[in-house]
Structure 1
Amino acid sequence: MAPDRPAADPPGRDRLAADRLSSDRFTRREFLATAGSAAAAVGLAGCGNRTVPHGWLDVGAPVDGALRDVAVTTAGPHAVGEGGAVVSRRGDAWRTVLGNGPAGQGNGLHGVAVTDDGRRVWLAGESGAAGAYDPVSDTLTDVSGPAGHTSTWTDVAVAGRAGSERVALLDGSGEVLPGRARQGTVRWGELTKPTGGEPGTAVDAVGRTTVVTDAAGGVYGHTGPVAPAERDEPGWTTMGLRGVETALRDVVAMEPDLITAVTDDGAAFDYDGYGWFRTPVADGALHAVDRRADDALTAGVDGAVYELADHSWQEADTPTGATFHGCALGTDAYADVAVGANGTVIERFG
């Protein structure tokens, strides 16, 4: 059921008009973290029996290039970046699990997403690089150049459990390529262009709904079949943001009518099914956001990380001034994490 329409706007927020997404409702997506990891025995990967200081710590990564995105699986967090690097926390340290990307050609990776059960990681990046990685079996399925498309993918989104997941690849021109994984293969649909030509910046998926943002403040939603029968089939709805003249850099969809996006001018926008609420968060650009119920993280330039606490964004004390490109909430077994320039990785302990 959609939330009741608020009687008044929350303090400090600006309400913006928006078109309503589909009336379909889906169960809130939950990350089903398992307790089978040895890390769960101590409640946090990398802690062992040692006393670890609380707060954000610079834990480093075995790469020097920028890390562009990060997601947390049942086997730990995985980050992707320049040169096709894929790095992951394994035990007490971060290690390289893939050195040259899905196609083995060193194409940079820009996006990473994990299935709802946390068992498979999807990767996407330059020159059509795309693939699915199983962190438990350490196996990679290379699907680079899907359906003959070799554009640079700026982001990837996944919804569903490993083996039957729905995939959406977004390129810099704002085109979306949908796919569906079944029985070890992926069936790709037709490209659509929800942004009308504006550069696509981020994509997320939940249930049967896909949400896309662009560099001109646009948000677009699509609910329906994985592969439209015709290229011009209706389906994408403009959800906002009217009157916003700044780039949206990342988006997270918890449900079709519970969405958070962050911007180049340091704001967070929340969608509740009726409209958008703007909350000023930072003085500089925000590049990444992750949210689960009332827990959320956002990160951006100059080492800035903000945590949602008591329904307000609070700046965290971080050990670096590096620019962050990705962040992800942790689980009972793994810490919250942010990744960025020069192989920077920080985790929140305690």
Structure 2
Amino acid sequence: MFEHESATRRTVLKGAGAAAAATLVPMGVSAAESEWTAVESPTGNTLHDVADTAAGAYAVGGGGVALRRTATGWEKVFDGGPTGNGNNLYGADVTDDGKRLWVVGSSGAIGEYDVETGVLVDRSAPNDVTNNFNDVSVTGEAGSANVYIAGDSGKIYSSFENGVEGSWDATTPGSGSAIQAIDFFGPRSGHAIDGNQSVFVTDDGGTYDKIGIADADVSLYGLDSDAFDDIWIAGGNGTVFEYVDTQWVSASTNDTQLQDIVVSNGSGITVGGGGGVYVYDGESWEPSATPVGDNLKAVIQGSVDIAVGAGGTILER
């Protein structure tokens, strides 16, 4: 059975075993020096998120594009987003059984994609809201998912009825700053971060309490929530935050603006500007050379690690 470990960007890649796509011309570091391979991408649009499904890894990005990793490389599965209007897609996550890929993006775009049938259902503009949506987290199985969406207006939108019309509620957990990322580890338990350096926790999927971060001094961008006491956050100035014994502990990589983070079973990866990748060995974060200088936006960790970013960049390790 496909297991939902943690939401957007953090799903472990299972059964990848696919042949790597063609290597691109290296930039800045030779392929021999790099742990990562830059593979051929069918789009030049920025890829904002990546997630694993029962049918392999998917990446989504600018212009509403969605790509799928196959045995012969990456291919485009749809363009234009759920509305067909070309709204950028910023977030993606999968149901616990891996059968449905949920995507969100600009102008209220929300889509539910069946990776088995190739059917894309448009669930955009819940309650007529057309603000930008930055991230999504889903729990439960296909057709009966709980859906949580991070809104640029500072609201979190939730549906406990698979996103059907009329089932959406909204709450503003903080000051109204944009919700940058959201991640649920249980049916109604998870965390969110906003543009005001705030972290919020919920155990009912509807009410949120603030748990930090005091004196963060940097913006927060990436979130990995695996339990109430297992939270990792990636932020500006190369800063990584870990929640330890109800306290936030920070570590510095360098001055790279970190955009995403995943930590599982004592190992982790965080990615950011200028092709920056840092890996965690259970004790410290160390740089991992890449053959690109493009800004990286998202990463997943598994039998094949995948990072995506600007210019359609796709890295595999």
- The alpha-carbon distance between structure 1 residues 284 and 32, as it changes in their structure 2 partners (threshold 3 A), is closer
- How far is 1:186 from its partner? 6.4
What per-residue deviation string (whole Å, max 9, x for no partner) do you get for residues 211-256 of structure 1? 11112211011111x5x5xxxxxx2110100111221001010112
* 2:160 corresponds to: 180
Q: 1:343 aligns with which of 297, 312, 315?
A: 312
Q: Which has the larger radius of gyration?
A: 1
- Structure 1, unaligned runs of 5 or more: 1-26, 229-234
- How far is 1:94 from its partner? 0.5
Give, as a single letter, the amino acid of the residue that structure 1 aligns with 2:293.
Answer: G
Q: Please give the TM-score of this superposition, normalised by the length of structure 1.
A: 0.80
- Mapping for residues 96-111 of structure 1, pairs under 5 Å: 96-111=76-91
* 1:142 corresponds to: 122
* 2:107 corresponds to: 127
Corresponding position: 1:201 with 2:180: yes
- The alpha-carbon distance between structure 1 residues 176 and 261, as it changes in their structure 2 partners (threshold 3 A), is same
* 1:116 corresponds to: 96
- How far is 1:288 from its partner? 0.9
What per-residue deviation string (whole Å, max 9, x for no partner) do you get for residues 233-292 of structure 1? xx2110100111221001010112211001012111111352111111232110111222
Given that residues 216 and 246 in structure 1 are in contact (C-alpha distance below 8 angstroms), is that contact kept between their aligned partners in structure 2? Answer: no
* Total equivalences in the alignment: 300
What per-residue deviation string (whole Å, max 9, x for no partner) do you get for residues 142-194 of structure 1? 10112221111011111223232211111112110001245x94663321111
Q: Please give the TM-score of this superposition, normalised by the length of structure 2.
A: 0.88
- How far is 1:307 from its partner? 1.3
- Structure 2, unaligned runs of 5 or more: 22-30
- The alpha-carbon distance between structure 1 residues 329 and 63, as it changes in their structure 2 partners (threshold 3 A), is same
3-state secondary structure, aligned to 1:302: helix
Given that residues 51 and 93 in structure 2 are in contact (C-alpha distance below 8 angstroms), is that contact kept between their aligned partners in structure 1? Answer: yes
Give, as a single letter, the amino acid of the residue that structure 2 aligns with 1:200.
Answer: I
3-state secondary structure, aligned to 1:265: helix
- How far is 1:60 from its partner? 2.4
Given that residues 190 and 227 in structure 2 are in contact (C-alpha distance below 8 angstroms), is that contact kept between their aligned partners in structure 1? Answer: no
Given that residues 299 and 308 in structure 2 are in contact (C-alpha distance below 8 angstroms), is that contact kept between their aligned partners in structure 1? Answer: yes
Corresponding position: 1:249 with 2:221: yes
Following the alignment from structure 2 to structure 1, what is the Cα–Cα distance between the partners of residues 14 and 47? 26
- The alpha-carbon distance between structure 1 residues 276 and 316, as it changes in their structure 2 partners (threshold 3 A), is same
3-state secondary structure, aligned to 1:55: coil
* Aligned Cα root-mean-square deviation (Å): 2.3
Given that residues 95 and 141 in structure 2 are in contact (C-alpha distance below 8 angstroms), is that contact kept between their aligned partners in structure 1? Answer: yes
3-state secondary structure, aligned to 2:171: coil
Given that residues 72 and 329 in structure 1 are in contact (C-alpha distance below 8 angstroms), is that contact kept between their aligned partners in structure 2? Answer: no
- How far is 1:61 from its partner? 1.2
Q: 2:67 aligns with which of 67, 87, 103?
A: 87
